[in-house]
Amino acid sequence: MNSKSVAFHHFGCKVNYAEASSIARQFQEKGFEIRSIHDPADIYVISSCAVTSVAEKKCRAAIRQAHKKNPKATIAIVGCLAELKPDALLAMEGVDLVLGHSRKFHLPEALENPGYIPEKEEGIYIPAYSSGDRTRSFLKIQDGCNYCCAYCTIPLARGKSRSDTISNVVNSAREIGRHGIHEIVLTGVNIGDFGTANGESLYELIRELDSIDEISRFRISSIEPDLLSDEIIEFVAGSQRFLPHFHIPLQSGCNKTLKAMRRRYDRELYAGRIEKIRALLPNACIAADVIVGFPGETDIDFVETMAFIKQLDISYLHVFSYSIRDHTFASTMPGRVPEQVTKHRSEKLHRLSEEKKKHFYHQNQGCEVRVLYESDNTNGYMHGFSENYIKVKTPFNPLLMNTIRTVKLIMPSDDGCFIDEITT
């Protein structure tokens, strides 16, 4: 493999990002220059996502753009879409190699040896973490999923749930800390399921991580409401390192729709999780995912969802329009919702999300928070995030990069950030 420049681009979740970053380090160790996907490169590696049809379209568009930028470049596709639709991707102009999830970690060897296809290693857990950001790292602790939600392809793409061990995760966290990174986001496909095959648990993991000195801050990424236990919430409430920030998928506020989706909880359980968090962490940031236009969702069902979310004390929403995914149970269900109806419902939820976020920001105005500043310089400002995930901006100062400062939240700005006043 004589090429010496490689560009990476990833779609989808934080797990995909962590894995792509780990693969990039393999190339760096072999002497490759890592470039932006927007620059000419000898090799383009695109980490694909298959969660929605939009993600699939974006992946195909990125392939076409890479091929146009350098028609002679080698293009390799990895990730979920590569696992589910390898032949369709390989048929695209410019694509040279398609490797699914377990095989993708052998990408450098596959490129060095044309015709070599690594063996598929089903059920194997492969650790990964991101290292491209000087302030924050996404640390993968779990992979796969044993849930069978009606709309989801992830169990098909990533297989059964499996996870790292507590000792390995702690060692990885310490290694990340030694690189000067202050914050780790624990990621996985279903992180609440961490450790079940090893006789361990997510609660035991966060207790161990809370005691290490190398990392100042931890965040728990998306966690299923039925796996977010009281003891986890109570531990976060009493921790100095685990931050008051929760991302809890809801998907629908209608129990009939939740049942059709094959979710493992009802809205009453979800509301109980929110109430528990608010009782112990009044200023916590709580985000929720919602799917609109699921097959069979009637106007009345959607009204139920809107009413339920309105009374929930959450901070904002991630809204997704349902899209048909091959080989899922939902793809065979009757009651398709017209595209325009789905779009209208999505717009309503986006407006509700903005109202929730404005209310959350208003509640925090005047508060003192601890902000970890990043290295960006956008129109003379740099940005960072508070413990409860409020984005803050301050005039650019290189001395603030990768530092944690106590600031007072003065007022929200038009770009969705808080203007701050640094106190210490």
Do 347 and 372 belong to one domain?
no
pLDDT at 415: 77
Do 191 and 277 belong to one domain?
yes
Mean predicted confidence (pLDDT) in 120-125: 81
Query: Is the residue at 148 inside a domain?
Result: yes
pLDDT at 420: 77
Residue 156 burial by CB count (10 A; 0-12/13-18/19+): exposed, middle or buried?
Answer: middle
Query: HSE-up of 349 (CA within 13 Å, CB side)?
Result: 29
pLDDT at 129: 94
Do 378 and 357 belong to one domain?
no
- Within its chain, how far is the Cα of 173 from the centroid? 18
415/108 Cα distance (integer angstroms)? 41
409/342 Cα distance (integer angstroms)? 37
The enclosing domain of 207 has a CATH number of 3.80.30.20
CA angle centred on 240, ends 236 and 246, rounded to 5° = 35
Lowest mean per-residue pLDDT among 79-88, 119-128, 413-422: 413-422
Domain residues for the domain of 377 are: 368-422
Do 86 and 158 belong to one domain?
no
Do 359 and 372 belong to one domain?
no
Question: CB of 246 within 8 A of CB of 284?
Answer: yes
Mean predicted confidence (pLDDT) in 347-361: 96
Mean predicted confidence (pLDDT) in 49-60: 90
pLDDT at 3: 61
Mean predicted confidence (pLDDT) in 288-317: 98
Query: Is the residue at 407 inside a domain?
Result: yes
Do 346 and 380 belong to one domain?
no
Question: CB of 417 within 8 A of CB of 273?
Answer: no
Query: Is the residue at 117 inside a domain?
Result: no
> Looking at per-residue confidence, does 124 or 89 come out higher?
89
Query: Is the residue at 151 inside a domain?
Result: yes
Question: CB of 229 within 8 A of CB of 205?
Answer: no
> Of 58, 36, 38, nearest to 49 (Cα)?
58
pTM: 0.93
Question: CB of 295 within 8 A of CB of 322?
Answer: yes
Question: What is the residue type of 234?
Answer: E
With a cut of 80, say whether residue 13 has pLDDT above it. Answer: yes
Mean predicted confidence (pLDDT) in 113-134: 83
pLDDT at 231: 98
> Of 223, 348, 340, 341, nearest to 286 (Cα)?
223
Please identify, among 112, 141, 156, the residue that sits at the C-terminal boundary of a domain: 112
| 409-418 pLDDT, tens digit each | 988 887 778 8
Residue 350 burial by CB count (10 A; 0-12/13-18/19+): exposed, middle or buried?
Answer: middle
Do 198 and 298 belong to one domain?
yes
Query: Is the residue at 118 inside a domain?
Result: no
Question: What is the residue type of 238?
Answer: G
pLDDT at 124: 87
Mean predicted confidence (pLDDT) in 156-172: 95
Do 258 and 305 belong to one domain?
yes
Do 342 and 374 belong to one domain?
no
With a cut of 60, say whether residue 1 has pLDDT above it. Answer: no
With a cut of 80, say whether residue 345 has pLDDT above it. Answer: yes
99/83 Cα distance (integer angstroms)? 7
Query: Is the residue at 119 inside a domain?
Result: no
| 230-265 pLDDT, tens digit each | 999 999 999 999 999 999 999 999 999 999 999 999
With a cut of 80, say whether residue 133 has pLDDT above it. Answer: no
Query: Is the residue at 218 inside a domain?
Result: yes
Mean predicted confidence (pLDDT) in 92-114: 90
The enclosing domain of 40 has a CATH number of 3.40.50.2300
| 181-215 pLDDT, tens digit each | 999 999 999 999 999 988 999 999 999 999 999 99
With a cut of 60, say whether residue 2 has pLDDT above it. Answer: no
Do 296 and 418 belong to one domain?
no
Q: If you average pLDDT over every residue of the chain, what do you get?
A: 93
Do 55 and 194 belong to one domain?
no
Mean predicted confidence (pLDDT) in 46-63: 91
Please identify, among 82, 112, 142, the residue that sits at the C-terminal boundary of a domain: 112
Query: Is the residue at 121 inside a domain?
Result: no
Q: Per the structure, how many domains does the chain have? A: 3
Please identify, among 88, 112, 136, the residue that sits at the C-terminal boundary of a domain: 112
Query: HSE-up of 7 (CA within 13 Å, CB side)?
Result: 20
17/12 Cα distance (integer angstroms)? 8
Do 273 and 393 belong to one domain?
no
